[in-house]
Structure 1
Amino acid sequence: MISTKSARLVIHVLLILFGIVWIYPFVWMVFSSLKTNQEFLTSGTALIPEEFQWENYTNAWHTANFSGYFLNTIIFTVATVVIVIFLSALTGYALGRIDFPGKKIIMICVVAIMFIPKGYTIIPLFKLVSNMGLSDSILGIIVAEASGAHVLFILMFASFFANLPKSIEEAAEIDGAGFLTVFSKVMLPLSMPIVATTAIMQFIWTWSSFLVPLVLTISKPELRTLAVGMQSFVQTYAVDFSGMAAGATISLLPVMIIFIIMQRYFIEGVAGAVKS
């Protein structure tokens, strides 16, 4: 019989090996961003470059305009995350705490929307943004990305709010608090683990969003985000692969830093939603 200690050791070794295999593509990309284009194409899976080409990052930041794309992405991502959190929390609160006619039908419709691919809605979304007079603007991209059902987040908030005791709301209502006051001053602060989970997941999705920013910035390249800006490295007859790797590294680092910093809140939020 294998002892518990030996079994744990074997599991840890296997997990470490799996982790190395899992992160190798990212490590390879980082080192590839420091190679020449020729070395990138001929070095295969080798990591260490013959000579570190730090100018790849300078070219990506200035020549490929990643400095502008980075600022666009920050504005686009932060604004979208704030809107999504507010709308998802408010919708989840209504579905989780309030009984009204047709509630089950609305829940079914919300869940059904989950199965509609986002690509199928891009044309009506583009038309809607244009009719609102928001085309060729960062606000239009934000509105387009923040729109949609965000079903996962709504269900997480609804599940969390549905399991909170009624006495919390009743105490606030006795003190004269209205619907929005109860929601913003009492219920929303209690749901901070879900808010943190929503913020992290939506941040990652929005930061790497490609389709919506691509369609809505076709006629205005200066509004591109980092994901769309990767096209700058693709020319008609050549591709700057090492520059693209540098751009991808610049794009991914903020996401990894945010996730590392907030992973505890992410785990707490998921655990709280499942437990609820």
Structure 2
Amino acid sequence: MAVSLHTRRPRIRLKFGRLLTHLVLFVGGILWMYPFLWTLGSSFKSVDGFFDEGLSIFPREFEWTNYVNAWNEASFSQYFFNTIFVTVFTVILTVIFTAMAGYVLARKEFPGKKLFLGLVALTMFLPHGYTIIPVFDIVQRLGLLDTLWSVILVQTAGGMVFNTFLFMGYFSSMQRELEDAARVDGASFHQLFWRVMLPLSGPMIATVALFTFIGTWNSFFVPLVFTLGVPELRTLAVGMFAFVGQNSTQWTYLCAGSVITLAPIIFIFVLLQSYFINGVAGAIKS
């Protein structure tokens, strides 16, 4: 009897600890999601309801026209197209360039490699405010100012270092047997990358694509600076300021625009979450 009581107590403590952990995580998750849920609910509120209902998530009356008005009155259709254009090309260029750089750094040794990687890693800690002036000057000299390609170029360059290290870690964790077999069949270094290693790096491609997609889609500073002279080239993040007037703010339209902006990110993450988890696990393991 004493033995059974002795064995039950740790089990009860374990179950209680798990229950408490799940309860804390559940409450934390609700608090974490509340701002988004409030924004989603407020996007359906009327102007009066937005102020009268306060922090309530559920609107008393649904104003479905908020989304239509936000889409039409603030030129969200044009901003949406601009954002898709910038994001798609930035993701493609970033994945291609960082995959090539990561594979070379993972498989090739050269004198001073550790020092080089350390110096490159330091650039990730430079604030954007310190580098925007020389970058702006380069873009202006290239004749790309006030174009969407300037945003694509700067966004791609900004994501090179971090994503290159992700690919380098992933390729370093992959076995060399496939490469050795391909070399026996006469494959060159470039053929090894394009035909063998890159197709096998699907999880990391999805991870980098997801990181780049989210960062580019939400980017505010770079599109603001490089499309300042042409309002028609604004992205969604910059276009949100169309709802902020000098004397008033269209809060319900602002909430509707926020939901429109966040919806593609949520969809892409749900679509690629399994690849994202596998890619991050592979990079950390190395």
> 2:114 & 2:36 partners in 1: Cα distance?
44
Q: Could you report, residue by residue, the CA deviation over 1:207-226 in whole angstroms, capped at 9, with x for unpaired residues? A: 10000000111111111110
TM-superposed CA distance for 1:202, in Å, is 1.1
Give 1:259's match in structure 2, choosing from 269, 275, 286: 269
1:86 aligns with 2:96: yes
Report if the CA contact (8 A) 2:82-2:235 is conserved: yes
Counterpart in the other structure of 1:49: 59
Please give the per-residue CA displacement for 1:188-244, whole angstroms capped at 9, x wherever unaligned: 122211111111111111110000000111111111110000010011111111110
Q: Is the 8 A contact 2:223 2:238 kept in 1?
A: yes
List runs of 5+ in structure 1 lacking aligned partners.
none
Instruction: Using the TM superposition, give the Cα deviation of residue 11 of structure 1 relative to its aligned residue in structure 2, in angstroms.
Output: 2.4
Cα RMSD for the two superposed structures: 1.6
The whole-number CA distance in structure 1 between the counterparts of 2:210 and 2:13 is 39
Q: How does 1:31-180 map to 2 (within 5 A)?
A: 31-148=41-158, 150-180=160-190
> What TM-score does the superposition give when structure 1 sets the normalisation length?
0.94
Question: Which whole-Å deviations, capped at 9, do the CAs of 1:38-73 have from their partners, x for residues lacking one?
Answer: 332332211222321111111111110111111111
Q: Specify the SS of the correspondent of 1:114.
A: helix
Instruction: Name the residue aligned to 1:234.
Output: 244
Q: CA offset at residue 13 of structure 1? A: 2.6
Q: Which residue of 1 aligns with 2:256?
A: 246
Q: Secondary structure at the match of 2:265?
A: helix
Q: Which 4+ residue blocks in structure 1 deviate beyond 6 angstroms? A: none
Q: Which runs of 5+ in 2 are unaligned?
A: 1-8
Determine what percentage of the aligned residue pairs are the same residue.
46
CA shift, 1:149, in A, is 5.5
Find the aligned partners of 1:8 and 1:163 in 2 and give their Cα distance: 34
> Which residue matches 2:218?
208
Task: Tell me the CA shift for residue 116 of structure 1.
Answer: 0.5
Deviates more, 1:180-189 or 1:3-12: 3-12
Partner of 2:4: none
* Number of aligned positions between the proteins: 276
Q: 1:45 to 1:149 in 2, by over 3 A?
A: closer
